[in-house]
């Protein structure tokens, strides 16, 4: 990596001011940013602004919705009693992000800002109709994520929290890439308190997570897996790599969507992780 200036912000205002400078980048847990810098995926920053000490890590409930501070680590989200009780699918998702080292360093805000194509959180946010709070505005997840590793965040703007509305039921199922262990395809399915089904897919498209509208339409009549039996995921814009072509990813999306809906209707945490067709773990 090239040389850069390192700042440790003492307040949100100072962090925003330093982050607005040309070539600056925010640094929280660093699990995505530092990796990308080492691999040359990002332009060399002129400065890094450490924000982990100033961004809230609080996790609380208001009016039935869970608000999680952007500084909360994946391990903290996974272990929070209120998340485990009210939204176990999210707790389980966070508990299966990366490995233990990543979960204890990586943060919710960092994961949202990174918006990786195979990220777990973007799918959850789209399926759960999450509101993302930044230092300048409150926006829906659909507005926040705008493309491959891109969000609406402007220079000097950072994620401060995310609010997860109450849902009737939800589940997340993902199939692991055999080498990198991220989601080759993951599907988050949720039924809102108003009876609206929402299905989001991650890992399948190069530009990131997306709502699967055809699946949602099929589930509008009844939130049961059989409603998806004849629904097909179009493969024309899906990702292709060494491990899966577009047709394979489309098939995975269809199978995992049915599993996610079935899991959402069953007792338990509502999370399952698969590799090579065999269940590895759940919970």
The DSSP string of 58-118 is -EEEETTEEEEETT-BHHHHHH-HHHHHH-HHHHHHHHTSS-HHHHHH-BHHHHHHH--TT
Q: What tens digit of pLDDT does each residue of 183-206 get? A: 999 999 999 999 999 999 999 999
Domains of the chain: 1-53 (3.30.43.10), 167-282 (3.30.390.50)
- Percentage of the chain with pLDDT > 90? 78
User: pTM score, two decimals?
Assistant: 0.93
- What does the pLDDT read at residue 41? 60
pLDDT of 5 > 60? The answer is yes
Rounded to 5°, angle at Cα 171 from 165 and 175: 135
Q: What tens digit of pLDDT does each residue of 116-141 get? A: 999 999 999 999 999 999 999 999 99
């Amino acid at each position: 990596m090239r040389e850069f200036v390192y700042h440790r912000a003492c307040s949100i205002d100072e962090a925003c001011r330093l982050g607005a400078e040309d070539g600056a980048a925010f640094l929280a847990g660093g699990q995505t940013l530092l990796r990308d810098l080492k691999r040359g995926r990002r332009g060399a920053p002129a400065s890094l602004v450490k924000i982990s000490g100033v961004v809230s890590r609080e996790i609380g409930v208001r009016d039935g919705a869970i608000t999680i501070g952007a500084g909360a680590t994946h391990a903290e989200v996974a272990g929070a009693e209120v998340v485990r009780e009210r939204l176990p699918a999210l707790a389980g998702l966070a508990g299966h992000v990366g490995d233990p080292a990543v979960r204890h360093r990586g943060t919710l805000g960092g994961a949202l800002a990174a918006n990786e194509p195979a990220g777990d959180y973007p799918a959850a946010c789209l399926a759960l109709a999450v509101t993302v709070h930044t230092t300048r505005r409150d926006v829906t997840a659909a507005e926040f994520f705008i493309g491959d590793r891109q969000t609406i965040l402007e220079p000097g703007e950072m994620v401060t929290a995310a609010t997860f509305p109450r849902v009737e039921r939800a589940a997340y199922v993902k199939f692991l890439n055999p080498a990198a262990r991220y989601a080759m395809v993951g599907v988050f399915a949720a039924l809102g308190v108003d009876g609206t089904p929402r299905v989001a897919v991650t890992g399948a498209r190069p530009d990131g997570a997306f709502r699967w509208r055809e699946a949602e339409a099929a589930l509008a009549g009844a939130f049961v897996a059989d409603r998806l039996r004849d629904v097909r995921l179009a493969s024309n814009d899906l990702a292709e790599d060494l491990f899966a072509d577009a047709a394979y990813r489309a098939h995975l999306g269809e199978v995992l969507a049915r599993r996610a809906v079935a899991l959402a209707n069953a007792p338990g945490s509502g999370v399952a992780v698969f590799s090579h067709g065999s269940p590895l773990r759940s919970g």
